[in-house]
Every structure is written in structure tokens, then in C-alpha cells.
Chain A
Amino acid sequence: GDSVTQMEGPVTLSEEAFLTINCTYTATGYPSLFWYVQYPGEGLQLLLKATKADDKGSNKGFEATYRKETTSFHLEKGSVQVSDSAVYFCALSKPGGFKTIFGAGTRLFVKA
């Protein structure tokens, strides 16, 4: 069945460091891919999305590119801030299907 695998955390970085959180997926058809973020004490928020191969989603300095050849959607940010500390979830959904399938989540800690 369809699934999402993302790197285990926690990931601890110093402020201004480069961030990569790896995400790969298994799915039939043409899924849309998402990154959601959960800040402490808050709900899940959509961070960015891509709906077809080679699309790049971006928001708040974060980017991820839909790579169909490697079935990947890695999240990157060039310079993290303390306020980026949160749990990040990679996810997919498909046209005509209503479920969102999530990875296990990666907790990011950014130290000042």
C-alpha cells in the first residue's frame, strides 16, 4: 500500500544551520505531496505542497521538490531559526482519494 518514510529525529541544529529532512514515498498513480508542521501547543499547519513531478513547493524559507524518479520530497531550509523548532510531517494524498498518509514525523530542535 501507499506509505511515507521520513528520517527519524530528533534533529538538533544551531541557529543559521542548513536543514534537510529526508522524505520518500511509495504510491501508485500521481500523488500530491505535502509537508505539515506542528509547533508546540498548536495544530498541524500546511507548510508547503507540490502536486506534480518537478514542482517545487516553498514557504517561509522552506523548500521541497517533488522528485518522481527518486520518489522523494526532501525538506530544506538554508538557515534555520529557533522559531522553526517543531515537528515536521511529510504526507501524500491522491486525486479521488480522501485520506492523507503521513510519515512518522521528525522533531527539530534549533538552539540559539
Chain B
Amino acid sequence: EAGVTQFPSHSVIEKGQTVTLRCDPISGHDNLYWYRRVMGKEIKFLLHFVKESKQDESGMPNNRFLAERTGGTYSTLKVQPAELEDSGVYFCASSDLSSYNEQFFGPGTRLTVL
């Protein structure tokens, strides 16, 4: 069974540019989560989808971040315009509806904003 995949693995952009991160959850997992780790600090929750619906987006830092999950399969997280403080590692995770306490994580996307 394939795990959670994320693309790209690394992205380096200039301040003010736009970047889109993609996450493909484990097939059949309706729950999809985004987290990020900034500057070696703790991993912080950004938002949670159940299928295509946003269940909880309380962790989204500001309106420069837009997450979508059209069709309830893969998800994208767009940062527009990117700022220096957005640099970090963005993790995606998925779980099925019956075991939401155990989440399976992807390898992360390392974003560097110069």
C-alpha cells in the first residue's frame, strides 16, 4: 500500500512569489491534515479536511494560505504571496474515519523563501 506522498520535496522561491504544495493521501483515507514545522520548532496543525470539506482550519496562519481538496482526493496548499516567515517543512497526513487518532504522515515539503 502506497503511503502519503507530497510534492515537491523541496521548493525555493523568492519573497512575494506563489508556491503550491500537493499532498496525495493514502487511498481511501477521508481525513487529510496539513501541518508545518518552522525553524526547528514544534510541528503545528494547520487544517483538517474530511473528504472535500474543511473540518477545522483554525491553524491557518493568515489569508495568504489557501488549502483545497477538490473531489476529496489529493489536496493542495497554496501560499500567495510567500513571506520569509513561511519557510519551514510542510507535512501532510491522512487517516481513515475509524481511526482518526492515528495519522500517517508524508515525507514533507521543505519550503525556503528567500
Residues on A close to B: CB < 8 A? 4, 32, 36, 41-46, 49, 51, 89, 91, 93, 95, 98-105
Contacts and interface: CB of A to CB of B under 8 A. Distances in A.
Contacts of B100: 93, 98
B84 to A, nearest CB: 21
Specify which of B3, B40, B100, B101 lies most central, judged by the most chain A CB atoms within 10 Å of its CB. B101
A43 B106 contact: yes
A43 B103 contact: no
Nearest to B31: A98
Interface of B: 3-4, 6, 31, 33, 35, 37, 40-45, 48, 55-56, 59, 91, 93, 100-108
11 contacts: A43-B108, A44-B43, A44-B91, A89-B42, A100-B33, A100-B93, A100-B103, A101-B45, A102-B43, A104-B42, A105-B37
A44 to B, nearest CB: 4
Nearest to B9: A41
A102 B104 CA distance: 14
A98 B35 CA distance: 12
B56 A46 contact: no
A100 B45 contact: yes
B48 A98 contact: yes
Given A89-B43, A102-B42, A43 B102 contact: no
B43 A46 contact: no
A43 B44 CA distance: 15
